[in-house]
Amino acid sequence: MKRISILRAIAMCAVILITFAASRSDDKAVPLFGIKIPPGYRDWKLISVAHEAGNLNDLRAVLGNDVAIKAYREGKIPFPDGTIIARLAWSYVPSEENDKVFGRSQSFVAGSATNVQFMVKDSRKYAATGGWGFAQFKDGKPDADAALLKTCFPCHEPNKARDYVFTHYAPTP
């Protein structure tokens, strides 16, 4: 009897923990597109790098999951379903340390992380926005501003010929 009670208690705990975990991860999705941070995205392969000056003033890396990288390398347009493109950005900061070595002010490096954006290809789910879902996360938390997320596709729309993706694959020598 006692053994059954312990097993029952363990089972109940498991249910509670799973429910809790599920509700927590649901909390982490952006509105509109329902996208969560893809696990392990920081380990993805490099597509390219960029610097946005102006108000953004960041340094960025664009990474892709395996589906994205394969499509990029094969020049496949449109990108297949399952493609996820990640754009990581950091504040654009001068590096005193590096400048000292170069003997002049020329070195700009990644400061603190600003935000991370994702484009997720699902041609059925996101049919209304060219087959792409859009998401933005700051400090690991989803940007809950639905109005902001609505501005993503109109900006990408002019680039229909390249399946709404701006970033080119940085050539490998």
Task: Give residues in contact with its own copies (CB under 8 A).
Answer: 42-43, 45-46, 48-54, 56, 59-61, 63, 88, 90, 92, 95, 97-98, 100-102, 104-110, 112-113, 115-116, 137-140, 155, 158-159, 166-168, 170-173
Q: In whole angstroms, what is the distance from residue 46 CA to residue 143 CA?
A: 24
Closer of 5 and 112 to its own copies (Cβ): 112
Give the nearest distance from C-beta 170 to its own copies in angstroms.
4
6 secondary structure, DSSP code: H
Strand pairing category for 141-142 and 58-64: unpaired
Q: In whole angstroms, what is the distance from residue 101 CA to residue 123 CA?
A: 50
**Nearest partner of 135 among 168, 66, 125, judged by Cα:** 125
Cβ proximity of 160 and 139 under 8 Å: no
Closer of 81 and 143 to its own copies (Cβ): 143
Give the nearest distance from C-beta 68 to its own copies in angstroms.
13
Give the nearest distance from C-beta 29 to its own copies in angstroms.
16
Give the nearest distance from C-beta 52 to its own copies in angstroms.
6
Give the nearest distance from C-beta 122 to its own copies in angstroms.
23
Closer of 113 and 148 to its own copies (Cβ): 113
H/E stretch holding 4: helix 2-27
Q: In whole angstroms, what is the distance from residue 169 CA to residue 75 CA?
A: 9
Cα-Cα end-to-end distance for the chain: 70
Closer of 8 and 73 to its own copies (Cβ): 73
Closer of 19 and 159 to its own copies (Cβ): 159
